[in-house]
Structure 1
Amino acid sequence: MPAPIRLDIPFFAAPSEKVLTGGKTSPEALRQAQAQGVAKIVNLCPPSEDLGFDEPALAAALGLAYENIPVAGGADLTRENAQRLADAIASAPGPVLVHCMSSNRVGALFALKAHWLDGKSVDAAIAEGRAHGLKAMEAGVRQLLER
């Protein structure tokens, strides 16, 4: 069995073998990810949020698949973006790193995916969101799930 992947990024979590989550990445973190077998990077930051480096270009140079699903705030927490996240993970041949700046939007979108697409209860979806980084957006996510 391969060693668990560990990346030096804020709020890093490994909720499953296929999905890794966290906050703001760096060139070093992407190199670590590639060296440890990560296959795809999914960035939830809109292009207006500066990571301090060209993440799509570096991902391409490292041979990592890359996808951007811009989630600027609550208005972008949609069923369409939850589906895009599910599709991005399903299409990856190996582990996927899903990140934003603090992992909060990551957890929010995973909670929505868990309820809307995977059929989990509201409480189970919130728990899944927390495991993926949901923090400050929890009340708003719960309102969306209880509609």
Structure 2
Amino acid sequence: MSAASTGWAAWSHLPPALAVALGAAVGALVRWQAGAWFNPVWSGFPLGTLLVNAVGGLCIGMAVTWLSRHPDEGLRLLLVTGVLGGFTTFSAFSAESLSLIERGRLELALFHTLAHVLGALGCAALGARLMRVWVS
């Protein structure tokens, strides 16, 4: 299944900087909306960022696995560097962890850190495994 056969052909021919910029704008908007929806769910804990990084890990595992079998540099720039780079956020995660530490919430900061790192890594592995099953 190539980019052309999946309907992505037009996107894969964008100039590289435009592909990254458009993808990043979409990813950042979705991340912002996820924070608006999910951060209020658990008072004092940035659930939206955790969910974004876990879902982003899943998606990046799927994307890099699919793209390793169907190389398309333009599509990689759009989806992986752009959309998923704009969607996931290590900087927000770091700031939120620091804020929890500064407020004396050390247990929550530790949970937050472990959940992000292990959650994103686990979801990336799951995404890669799912994609291998789906495309085999």
TM-score when normalising by structure 1: 0.25
TM-score when normalising by structure 2: 0.26
The structure with the greater share of residues assigned to strand is 1
The structure with the greater share of residues assigned to helix is 2
Which of the pair has more CA radius of gyration? 2
